[in-house]
Amino acid sequence: MTEASARPMVRSEPPALALESITCTFPAAARDDQPYTAVREASVRVGKGEFVSLIGPTGCGKSTLLNVAAGLMAPTSGSVLVEGAPLRGLNRDAGYLFQADALIPWRSALDNIAAGLQFHGVDRAERTERAQHWLERVGLAGFGNRYPHQLSGGMRKRVALAQTLILDPKIILMDEPFSALDAQTRELMENELLELWSSDRKSVLFITHDLEEAISLSDRVVVLSAGPAAGPIGEFAIDLARPRDVSEVRMTKRFLELHRKIWELLKAEVLKSHVRQKHA
Amino acid sequence: MSGRSTPSGPLMILYRLVFLLALFAIWHALTESGLLPRFFFGSPLLVLEKAARWFASGKIYKHLAITLLETVLAFGCGTLLGLATGLWLALAPAASSLLDPYIKGANAMPRVILAPIFAVWFGLGILSKVALGITLVFFIVFFNVYQGVKEVSPVVLSNARMLGATRRDLLRHIYLPSATSWVFSSLHTSVGMAFVGAVVGEYLGSAAGVGYLILQAEGAFDINTVFAGILVLTAFALLLDWIVTVTERHLLRWRPTSEGARLSNR
């Protein structure tokens, strides 16, 4: 446990990450098109050590919000605060787990995990040792010199997880990281993620369109409206006991209650998004 | 270079040798019987004898060494220039847009016509051949590097940036490796082009090299020596190609092959 650093100027500790009334407008693709507003006036806060899921129908601008939080994209208006300080440029406190494969294809698993340390100027001997440690931690000991294409989808996700966590980021941003995996691998990865997370309780902003995943992992679930001009329309505290096993927790009564409550709100948005896509 | 198709391995090599012998036999039969005039089509036995005599006397080595030196220099300089220009233009959209029509024009122009100019500028030594080879190699490498940089997955780039890569890190650890992988996969073409540049340059005016031998023999209507030169060049080109294949296999081992794809699809 790290001691909370004393901040005399601020009474209560600021959230680890705060998105304050973010609006993102993209210029029109064709001349006759209207500019597209993906997100309008969206505010989301992630407390220190809190696991927050953003859930919404596909195409609701979830990834846009996450890119804004990472500093990969500047919002049209609104601000991002990292521990109370406005974000400029890339969010150096954040690690980002992408939905698509983001590993460097010409580097072995070990060298991929060590990449971040290399960019930060850690010498070869130390970064190899630390990468080796993380390789074992994500259960891939002995696969260090495999190239990404020689690993299964689940293994690649593990490497990506280690690649992000080795830098010890204060905030982890995850963009549907497990959506490409089969159901069994996915549950395994979710449990492993919870285990890794519970060991040092980082702040997590997790994006998903899978309600079960959102509830079983999170402390809080934020529901986004269907795009365009998406924004949060509801927030639910998930008061399920930890540590959790994602497959067991899904059988509990409280889980089903929460699921029903959130689904009532989410369903309408999913339908809206369906209708819109059909007519698009 | 074992054949992958059925009959495999050594048997295929044997078939290939038989095929080669058959070609020579047909050539021999046609010219011996008088169906084809020997003056224009030569005689395989004399051709082989000529080639053998070149190697026995050691006369050919000097010329081969010159041609090889020109090829290597053209390949090396052309690759470096193409790599640097490709990286620069791919990462500088304004310059790329400015130079685009000129590069396209220069690439569309048949570069062989530059050979006389290079001969005037650089003389009849190896430099004019290297220059010609460079103009051929440069564009292949340039377009591959340009493509290689453009094809870098934006997700991989974002990921590297989130992991703390500076612009220099991106250049060194993402763009350059991606570009070089495209250069490696175009090795066959660029080495071949360097070789073409060397031989064509020699053929158009030189004092040494295998192309020069052919040029001289042609001047004396010695068709057998011309064929012997072509034979030696072909064998040499095959050797170069084999070296490239071995190098490529080593350098691109991280690339998904059909076997690798099967592994990852489990």
pLDDT tens, position by position, A139-169: 899 999 999 999 998 899 999 999 999 999 9
Residue spans of the domains in chain B: they are 1-41, 42-253
Mind listing the pLDDT tens digit for each residue in A93-111? 899 999 888 999 999 999 9
pLDDT digits (tens, 9 = 90+) for B166-176: 999 999 999 98
Is B162 close to A107, i.e. CB distance below 8 A?
no
User: According to the model, what pLDDT value does residue B6 have?
Assistant: 67
**Residues of A within an 8 Å Cβ radius of B:** 70, 72, 90, 92, 94-96, 98, 100-108, 115-116, 118-120, 147, 149-153, 163-164, 167
Instruction: Give me the residue from A100, A153, A167 closest to B163, CB to CB.
Output: A167
Residue of chain B whose alpha carbon sits nearest to that of A100: B155
Give the pLDDT of residue B3: 45
Query: Exposed, middle or buried by CB within 10 Å (0-12, 13-18, 19+), for A34?
Result: exposed
Say which CATH topology domain B42-253 has: MetI-like fold (1.10.3720)
Which of B155, B163, B167, B258 to mutate against chain A (most A CBs within 10 Å)?
B163
What is the average per-residue pLDDT within A71-94? 90
Nearest alpha carbon to residue A99 among A18, A157, A31, A146: A157
Q: Give the position of tokens 């080669």.
A: B20
The model carries a pTM of: 0.78
Give the model's pLDDT for residue A10.
46
What lies within 8 Å, CB to CB, of B131 at 6+ separation is B74, B114, B118, B121, B122
CATH number assigned to the domain with residue range A17-93+170-279, chosen from the 4 options 3.20.20.80, 3.40.630.30, 3.30.70.260, 3.40.50.300: 3.40.50.300
Q: In the prediction, which pLDDT does B84 show?
A: 92
Q: Which residue ranges does chain A devote to CATH 3.40.50.300? A: 17-93+170-279
Single-letter amino acid code for the residue at B211: G
> So what's the ipTM on this one?
0.85
What does the buried/exposed string (b/e) look like for A189-222 if buried means 16 or more CB atoms within 10 Å of the residue's CB?
Answer: bbbbbbebbeeeebbbbbbbbebebbbbbbbbbb
More confident residue, A257 or B264: A257
Is some CB atom of chain A closer than 8 A to the CB atom of B153? yes
Model confidence at B260: pLDDT above 70 = no
Residue with tokens 């974002």: B158
Contacts of B161 in chain A (CB under 8 A): 72, 90
pLDDT at B8 over 80: no
Least confident stretch, B67-71, B76-80, B93-97, B254-258: B254-258
Of A54-68, B112-126, B251-265, the range with the highest mean pLDDT is: B112-126
Least confident of A227-241, B13-27, B145-159, B210-224: A227-241
Predicted pLDDT of residue A113: 95
pLDDT of residue A231: 83
